[in-house]
Amino acid sequence: MIRQNPVMRICVSCRKTYDRKDLIKITKDHKQGIMLKNGMGRSAYICKSKKCYLDSKIIKKLQKALRTSLDTEFIDVFEKEITSYNYYPNKGI
């Protein structure tokens, strides 16, 4: 019997280790550029906690981790994705 160990990854914001399936993956795909949850290439992960989502430096941290710049189009998609896990009527407070 093969034991399945969870794949652990570190959140770029809080630097805590989580099971990969509990994180949102952002990948710099070799062909398609920045992708959410899919793609092959350098990846960064963010956990679904409010603290990390509201981190004002999160985009900078992602850019540093991915060694690329993120365009506003991607940031928009990313924010929609992450807010779908967290609904905060008082966002920004």
Footprint of Zn ion on this chain (CB under 5 A)?
Answer: 11, 13-14, 47, 52
By C-beta, is 16 or 30 nearer to Zn ion?
Answer: 16
Closest CA to 13 of 34, 44, 40, 43: 44
Please state, in angstroms and as integers, the Cα–Cα distance from residue 83 to each residue in 29, 39, 67, following that order.
23, 21, 24
Q: Kindly state the smallest distance separating residue 3's Cβ from Zn ion, in Å.
A: 27
By C-beta, is 13 or 27 nearer to Zn ion?
Answer: 13
Q: Kindly state the smallest distance separating residue 85's Cβ from Zn ion, in Å.
A: 12
Structure tokens at 80: 């929609």
